[in-house]
Structure 1
Amino acid sequence: MITFSVVTITYNAEDVLQPTLDSVLMQDYVHVEHLIIDGASTDNTVSIAEAYKRQSDEAENGHVVKIKSEPDGGLYFAMNKGLQQATGDYVVFLNAGDRFPAPETLDKVALAAEVGDGEELPAVLFGDTDIIDSKGNFLCHRRLSPPERLTWRSFRYGMLVCHQAFYARTDIAKVLPYDTSFRYSADVDWCIRVMKEGEHRHLLLRNIHAIVADYMQEGQTTLHHKESLQERFEVMKRHYGLVHTLLLHAWFALRSVIK
């Protein structure tokens, strides 16, 4: 059976955390490890997480919840900590405020991971994302959607798969930690590097063909939009070259004027 490590990063997240935890608790899928990596919150975040752990344990649903709260260097430092603790076949990051859309979400992901005898598990499983507000109300489908055939080159045109809908094989993810020199766009760089490694190993990237994440609109990237765009340019330049990145951004600018 496929196993999943769900990593939730928190810091003073008491206002948005509970729906995230509830969405993991309601998963019908049994083989789930939920790692809550907290940055030494000073509000009720840890208490909420501990109450959730007790509820999950009492449900005897097969889920294993682990909580670690200590100071860290920021979001991507915490994500690296979660990566190193993950033991599932696949790891996915579901941060405070984000959530699984339905009880059968992980069942659908596991189904997409199925392979025949002698075949290796796909390097990445990826799906679609809906955008929600802080109360969980549906706002829209994510503007960028994953192509049927995804490669690391696909991200030249933007982050076509939302980070929360990107399931990386844990053995690959562990050797490719997030680059903490980026403050807002290390997730883009990480996804590209994971896909590159998958191609190097001749592994599949498989489309789940389902909405697998509800993404809360007001994240760090939204709040720091200008800085995020600057970092994304550096990520694109790193992976696709300066000339190609400049040409693409010129096209993006022209397209926005035409619209």
Structure 2
Amino acid sequence: MKMPVMSIVTIVYNGIETLQKTIDSIANQSYSAIEYIIIDGASSDGTINLIKDNEASVSKWISEPDNGLYDAMNKGLKMASGDYVWFINSGDEIYNRMSIEHMVNGFNDNWPDVIYGDTVMIDSEGHEIGGRRLQPPKDLSWKDFKNGMLVSHQSILVSTKIAKLYNTKYRFSADFEWCLQALMEAQLIHNTNQTLSRFLDGGLTKQNIIPGLRERFDIMRRYFGLFPTIIKHVPIGLRFVSYVLKNKRF
């Protein structure tokens, strides 16, 4: 049986401290049908030499200036030639070496359009610090995103047949709209019922939490309507505050 090819894309800029673990998590997969793409934003800290040292594990890579994270991700999308695209950016990791093999073994006769799972958060040393504030539901649809981004971007794979380019109008939350659009387009959505990624805490969106939330509100308003979005943000806000007070992180 033909194995689906996973186009895994890593975006990096000056990632000399974080990129090797990401590369290793992909290179060490038990699953062989992987196209690994690295998009570097013209790093100046030795990252390019690190990529060259790992070229045996990398299918394609480029290093050039970009116009932000989502412009770089669009470059990766355009280079992807596999059946699915999966963004595992510098510092993030696939959960374990069997993750893709177990994922694919869980498919039925038809390959899904969207594949999703859970995420564990890690610190800069690679230690697990817990799960995300929002958890993926058993059955996911685009309407569930009324309650926020229930699936981490690092734990969702999208068929390249339906994957759209990121809307670079948004600097911090274009991934929210990208996932939403994929779910709207999907005919078959598959819950792996497994943890798919280890997500490095403290990324771009978290560092820009307020503008990121403004962008996400605007996206939700466009897709769900202004009044429903306002109403939904009352429980979303309460859950956010409760989580921060209990866990001392967000």
Q: Same fold (TM over 0.5)?
A: yes
What are the equivalent positions in structure 2 for 1:1-259 lying under 5 Å apart?
A: 1-54=3-56, 56=57, 65-112=59-106, 114-116=107-109, 119=110, 121-173=111-163, 176-198=164-186, 203-254=187-238
SS in 2 for 1:49: helix
Distance 1:256 1:223, change over 3 A: closer
Distance 1:22 1:256, change over 3 A: closer
Code of the aligned partner of 2:101: D
Code of the aligned partner of 1:236: M
Name the stretch that deviates more: 249-258 or 80-89: 249-258
Superposed CA offset, 1:182-202 (max 9, x none): 00000000000011111xxxx
TM-superposed deviation, 1:218: 1.1
SS in 1 for 2:93: coil
C-alpha contact 1:150 1:205 (8 A) present in aligned 2: yes
Code of the aligned partner of 1:126: Y
Give the Cα separation in 1 of the matches to 2:54 and 2:240.
45
**Which portions of structure 1, spanning 4 or more consecutive aligned residues, are displaced by more than 4 angstroms?**
254-259
Query: Which position in structure 1 is the counterpart of 2:248?
Result: none
Give the Cα separation in 1 of the matches to 2:129 and 2:241.
25
TM-superposed deviation, 1:257: 7.0
SS in 2 for 1:171: coil
Give the Cα separation in 2 of the matches to 1:15 and 1:132.
15
Superposed CA offset, 1:198-233 (max 9, x none): 1xxxx1111001111000001001111111111110
TM-superposed deviation, 1:148: 0.9
How many residue pairs match? The answer is 241
C-alpha contact 1:23 1:102 (8 A) present in aligned 2: yes
Code of the aligned partner of 2:23: L
Code of the aligned partner of 2:153: H
SS in 1 for 2:162: helix
TM-score if structure 1 supplies the norm length?
A: 0.89
Distance 1:157 1:44, change over 3 A: same
Give the Cα separation in 1 of the matches to 2:210 and 2:233.
14
Query: Which position in structure 2 is the counterpart of 1:59?
Result: none
C-alpha contact 1:6 1:91 (8 A) present in aligned 2: yes
Code of the aligned partner of 2:175: D
State the percentage of identical aligned residues: 41
Which blocks of at least 5 consecutive residues in structure 2 are unaligned? 246-250
Give the Cα separation in 2 of the matches to 1:257 and 1:27.
38
SS in 2 for 1:35: strand
